[in-house]
């Protein structure tokens, strides 16, 4: 299974289960022009409990690995669970949308896109940047800041700087923002 195929399967299965979703993370950064090697896909989802159970059944029927217990736990705590293709090792991190202003705004700003021939919603450039700044603050990896630098370089004057500055303040990612702005 390739990245394109995994995206197609997940987008189709989420849609069939009635779950709104949004591509984010490094694959969304690649959509916006800052590509790098990765073996996982990050999707923010906004399911109901019933829709999530339906999604899990559909994914299992396709031969992909998913833990129903982990999915329910993620739903209960706005956390994350995985879907893995056991044949190729491709992994999808499905992140249940948090109930906070940034996450609600980010999800409402998602953009319909055609990526690798797959119709799905993608986080806006600015929201990918903010997400990566948060992951960097949590110590996820220096690659998050490299991605942000690349996205800012690619966007140039096209990035909505007032929007970014507003969320830098509200999310408390000043130190990370200064690191990427200085480069």
Q: What's the CATH number where 76 sits?
A: 3.30.460.40
Last residue of a domain, one of 123, 148, 163: 123
Domain identity same for 40 and 105: yes
Give the pLDDT confidence score for residue 117 in this predicted structure.
86
Give the pLDDT confidence score for residue 109 in this predicted structure.
97
Domain identity same for 119 and 134: no
Domain identity same for 133 and 150: yes
Domain identity same for 77 and 143: no
Number of domains in the chain: 2
31: left (phi over 0), alpha (psi -120 to 50) or beta: alpha
| pTM for the whole structure | 0.92
Q: Are 66 and 60 in contact (CB under 8 A)?
A: yes
Domain identity same for 109 and 134: no
Query: How far is the C-alpha of 140 from the C-alpha of 20, rounded, in Å?
Result: 26
Alpha helices in 32-173 (DSSP H): 49-61, 68-77, 101-108, 125-137, 142-155, 161-171
Last residue of a domain, one of 106, 123, 140: 123
Query: How far is the C-alpha of 123 from the C-alpha of 113, rounded, in Å?
Result: 10
Domain identity same for 84 and 10: yes
Domain identity same for 12 and 78: yes
Give the pLDDT confidence score for residue 181 in this predicted structure.
83
Block means of pLDDT (10 residues each) for the chain, 183 residues, are 84 97 92 80 97 98 96 98 92 96 97 90 96 87 88 92 95 93 70
Domain identity same for 32 and 95: yes
Domain identity same for 31 and 118: yes
Q: 121, 116, 76: which is closest to 98 by C-alpha?
A: 76
Domain identity same for 27 and 104: yes
Segments forming the whole domain that contains residue 140: 124-183
- 9: three-class secondary structure by DSSP: helix
Give the pLDDT confidence score for residue 115 in this predicted structure.
83
Query: How far is the C-alpha of 45 from the C-alpha of 171, rounded, in Å?
Result: 21
Give the pLDDT confidence score for residue 66 in this predicted structure.
97
Domain identity same for 129 and 116: no
């Amino acid at each position: 299974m390739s990245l394109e195929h995994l995206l197609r399967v997940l987008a189709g299965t989420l849609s069939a289960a009635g779950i709104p979703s949004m591509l984010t993370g490094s694959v969304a950064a690649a959509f916006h022009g800052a590509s790098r090697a990765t073996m996982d896909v990050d999707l923010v989802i906004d399911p109901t409990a019933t829709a999530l159970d339906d999604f899990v059944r559909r994914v299992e029927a396709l031969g992909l690995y998913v833990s129903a217990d982990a999915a329910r736990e993620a739903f209960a705590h706005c956390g994350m669970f995985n879907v893995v293709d056991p044949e190729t090792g491709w992994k999808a991190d499905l992140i249940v949308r948090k109930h906070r202003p940034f996450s609600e705004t980010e999800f409402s700003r998602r953009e319909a896109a055609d990526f690798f021939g797959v119709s799905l919603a993608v986080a806006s450039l600015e929201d990918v940047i903010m997400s990566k700044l948060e992951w960097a603050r949590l110590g996820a990896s220096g690659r998050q800041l490299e991605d942000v630098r690349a996205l800012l370089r690619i966007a140039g004057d096209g990035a909505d700087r007032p929007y970014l500055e507003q969320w830098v303040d509200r999310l408390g990612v000043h130190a990370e923002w200064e690191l990427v702005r200085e480069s």
